[in-house]
Amino acid sequence: MLEQIIPFRYLTPGQREALLTDAVEEVFEPDAVLIEQGDRADTRVFLLLEGSVRVLDRNDPDPGHVKVITAGHYLGERAALFDEPRGLEVFAADRVRALAIPGDRFLRLVHESTGFAQALGGILRSKQGIFDSFTRFHVALLQQISEGAVHLERLLPLYEALHPALHPRVSSRDALDVTALAYAVRRLPDNVTRTLAFFLTDKLPDLYADAGERFAEVPTTARRRTVFEMLPGKSMVLIRDGRSDVLDFICCLCLYAIEARKLRHRVRGAGGLDAISPTDVDALRTIWPNDTEERIREVALHHEDFRIEVYREANDYNSGHAETWCKQIAEATRRLIGIDPADLPADYDVHVISSNTHSVPNCLSPWLGREADRIVSWARSTGHELADDGWQHDHDLAYAVAREYLQAFPEEAAVRAEAEEAAGILELDWTAFTGIAVRLIDTSRVAWGDTDPGIPSSGPNRPSLIVNIDYAFGQQAQNIIANLASLFGRHLRSVNVLGKAGGLVGERGHVAVASGFVDVREDQYLPIPGGNAVDVERLRARLPDRDVHLGNMLTVMGTLLQNRTMLHFNRHIWRCVGLEMEGAWYLRHIEQSVSRGSVREDIRLRFLYYTSDLPLRHDSNLSARLRAVEGIPPLYATTREVLTGILES
C-alpha cells in the first residue's frame, strides 16, 4: 500500500522496504485510542491499512464536530515534525489495522528523501494550510498600509494567531511575557509609553525638511530608526526601503500592545503596583531601569489606542534614500582613490562586505594591530570582567575591550584615527536615512604587516577597493545591492554577506555557511550560483571549539513573523540550518544583474553567519543577550575568512 499513498509513493523500493522493517503493525478495536490529545511522549505516525478513525478536538465546544479518516491515509505527523503535543484525539471508528512508524524514523525519512520531503511539505502547506495565518496577517497589514492608516485593534487578533516564536505567551490573558516585552521595547522608540500617534513616512515632507533642527530625536535601543517627537504624544518615524522596516515596526507594536494590556489590567485592578510579582517588577526594571514606576503608570493610562498614519512616496518605498546613499559612496571613492567609479581601470576590483562596520576595519587597523598586546595587558591588569572568559585569540579580547581602553586613554583616539586614515580606511559621515553606515578601504594603502594575524600579511595582487556596509534590513538589501551593482558594474569582484542569524541547529556562537536560500514568502529555493566561495574547512580550523554548519538558510519576513511550526517545517523539509532576513534579497538581485550582463558571471559570493540566537529555545532566543565571548570569536573568525578569501582571490 505504501506506493499508493502520497508522499510515501515517492520513496525508492529500497527505502519502502527499509521502512516496513522498522515500522510496527498494530490492531485497534473499536473506540480504542490511537492518539491521545495533549500527549507529548508519543510521536508515532500511523498509516491506516484497514478500517477508519475518528478525529476529535476535546477543546471544541461543538462535541459533534468529528472528522473521519479512512484506510489508505496517514496521520499524526505533526508531533514528530513540529515537536508539539498531540493537538487532537484519534480513536478507532471500527476495527483498525495500522502501520506505526516511530517519530524519529519518520524524520529520518524526511531527511533522506527529497521527493518525500517536498511532497509532504506541499500537503502541509496546501491541504493543511499551516502558514495561512501569516498570509492573513500580511495581506491585512499591507492593505491598511496602502490605505494610509494602520488599525492596530484589527491586526491584534491576526497577530495573536501567528503564535510568534519570540512571543510564547501571546495567547495568555494573564501571564505577562516580560522577556518578549523587553524585545519589543528595545526596538521601538523610547517614548512609546507616552506616544498616542505615530506618523510613518518614507520621505520627510517639505514642511519637516529640517526635522533634525525642529524636533527632538528619539532613540531606539536595538534597532536603527530615525524618530522625531513632533509634539508631546506624536512621533514621526522615517521608514527604510522596502516593506521589512514597516512590518517590523508594526509587529513590535502589536507585541507591545498585547503585553501592555496585560500589565495595565494588573495595575488597574485590586492592589495597583503591588499586583505585579517581584519577579516581574525586577524584569521590568531591566527594560526601564531609571523610571520603572513612571513607565508602568504611563502604560496603565495609555490603553494602547495608537493612531498610526502611513505616508508612502511610491510603492517601492524610499528608493531615493538608497540612491543618495550610493551617490555619497561614489563621491567618497573619488576622495579616497582619486578615481570616479565610472572611470575605474579594467583591472580594478571592488569587494562588497555586508557586516557590522567594526570587525572589518578592526582587522585592517594598523593601530589595533600594533596595540593589541598592550590593550590585552591593560584588560588583565585592571581585572576587566571579560579578561578571564577563556579567549582563544588575544586579538579577540583586544577588539572586545578596545572602546573602553580608548575611554581610559582618550589621547589614543586621535592616534588611531590618524593611523587608519593613513591606511586608507575612510568612514562616511551620514547614512542618508538608510541606517546603513559605510567604510571604504583602499587596499593599496593598508599597512599589511600590522593587520590581524589571522589574515594574509600582503594585499591582493590587483588594485582593490573594499566597500564595507552595515547590515541592510530585509527587503532593503535588494535596493542596496541594486545601487552598488549599478555603481561598480563589472568591477564588482565579490559580494560577501557576513551576518548574524538564528540557529535551527547547534548552539549560540556556532557558524552557518549557506549552501542556498529558502524564501519564506514564496517557499522558493534559491541556490548560490557557482556555490558559496567560503573555504569551510579553513573556517572550521579557525574555530576548533565551535561547530560550522553547512546548509540552507531561511530568509524570513521579520523576526516576529515566524513561529515554531514554520521553523521546524523549514528545518526538516528544506534542511535549513538557520534563518536571517537579507540573503534571498541579495542573491535574487545579483542573479538578475549577472543575467543582464551588468555584473560579471564569475563574481564570487560568500554567505556566512554566526549564530546569535536559537529561536526554538526560549532561553537562547533574541530576547536573551549574547555574551561577548559567545559572539566575538565567531564574528572575527568569519571576518578573517572573508578577508582571506578576498586577498587570495
For 318-377, give the secondary structure using H, E and C.
CHHHHHHHHHHHHHHHHHHHCCCHHHCCCCCEEEEEECCCCHHHHHHCHHHHHHHHHHHH
Q: Which CA distances in Å does 400 have to 79, 601, 624?
A: 43, 38, 19
Q: Is 267 in contact with 292 (CB distance < 8 Å)?
A: no
179 and 78 fall within a common domain: no
pLDDT digits (tens, 9 = 90+) for 523-569: 899 999 999 999 999 999 999 999 999 999 999 999 999 999 999 99
Mean pLDDT of the chain: 94
Long-range pairs, 133-137, Cβ under 8 A, ≥24: 133/158, 133/161, 133/162, 133/163, 134/162, 134/557, 134/561, 134/566, 136/161, 137/161, 137/162, 137/561
97 and 119 fall within a common domain: yes
Looking up cell 511610491 gives 314
Q: Is 474 in contact with 435 (CB distance < 8 Å)?
A: no
455 phi/psi in degrees, rounded to 5: -125, 160
User: From CA 333, how far away is CA 344, in angstroms rounded?
Assistant: 10
38 and 57 fall within a common domain: yes
Confidence class of residue 624 from pLDDT cuts 50, 70 and 90? Answer: low
For 46-50, what is the mean pLDDT?
96
pLDDT of residue 648: 92
202 phi/psi in degrees, rounded to 5: -95, -5
User: From CA 64, how far away is CA 640, in angstroms rounded?
Assistant: 63
| Rama region for 489: left / alpha / beta (φ>0; ψ in -120 to 50; rest) | left
Domain boundary among 104, 127, 150: 127
pLDDT digits (tens, 9 = 90+) for 63-90: 667 899 999 999 999 999 999 999 999 9
Domain boundary among 285, 311, 337: 311
182 and 241 fall within a common domain: yes
User: From CA 210, how far away is CA 212, in angstroms rounded?
Assistant: 5
pLDDT of 318 higher than 60: no
> Nearest CA to 75 among 123, 9, 27?
123
Q: In what order do the strands lie in the sheet with 33-35?
A: 33-35, 89-92, 52-56, 66-70
pLDDT of 317 higher than 70: no
For 484-513, what is the mean pLDDT?
97
pLDDT of residue 258: 97
209 and 329 fall within a common domain: no
564 and 464 fall within a common domain: yes
Residue 554 CA, distance from chain mean position? 9
For 389-405, what is the mean pLDDT?
96
User: From CA 411, how far away is CA 408, in angstroms rounded?
Assistant: 9
Q: How many domains does the chain have?
A: 4
CATH code of the domain in which 53 resides: 2.60.120.10
First to last CA, the chain: 55
User: From CA 398, how far away is CA 403, in angstroms rounded?
Assistant: 9
282 and 404 fall within a common domain: no
113 and 206 fall within a common domain: no
Looking up cell 496521520 gives 75
How many CB atoms sit inside 10 A of residue 68's CB? 9
> Cα angle at 269 between 263 and 273, to 5 degrees?
60
Looking at this protein, which amino acid is placed at residue 489?
A: G
Confidence class of residue 178 from pLDDT cuts 50, 70 and 90? Answer: very high
For 591-596, what is the mean pLDDT?
96
pLDDT of 228 higher than 90: yes
611 and 581 fall within a common domain: yes
pLDDT digits (tens, 9 = 90+) for 450-496: 999 999 999 998 999 999 999 999 999 999 999 999 999 999 999 99
Residues 6 or more apart whose CB falls under 8 angstroms from that of 180 comprise: 166, 167, 168, 169, 170, 255, 259, 623
pLDDT digits (tens, 9 = 90+) for 282-298: 999 999 999 999 999 99
pLDDT of residue 271: 65
Cα-trace Rg, the chain: 27
> Nearest CA to 69 among 86, 46, 41?
46
pLDDT of residue 556: 96
254 and 345 fall within a common domain: no
Looking at this protein, which amino acid is placed at residue 555?
A: T
How many CB atoms sit inside 10 A of residue 458's CB? 11
User: From CA 400, how far away is CA 329, in angstroms rounded?
Assistant: 29
DSSP states of 439-493: EEEETTT--GGGS-TTS-SS--SS-EEEEEEPPP-TTHHHHHHHHHHHHHGGGEE
User: From CA 31, how far away is CA 94, in angstroms rounded?
Assistant: 7
631 and 509 fall within a common domain: yes
3-class SS at 317?
coil
Q: Is 167 in contact with 179 (CB distance < 8 Å)?
A: no
Note the maximum CA span of the chain.
85
pLDDT digits (tens, 9 = 90+) for 95-113: 999 999 999 999 999 999 9
Domain residues for the domain of 64 are 2-127
Beta bridge partners of 465: 350, 442
Q: Is 569 in contact with 82 (CB distance < 8 Å)?
A: yes
For 363-378, what is the mean pLDDT?
98
pTM, to two decimals: 0.93
For 122-148, what is the mean pLDDT?
94
> Nearest CA to 455 among 214, 218, 648?
648
pLDDT of residue 86: 96
329 and 435 fall within a common domain: yes
pLDDT of residue 308: 97
Least confident of 23-32, 310-319, 526-535: 310-319
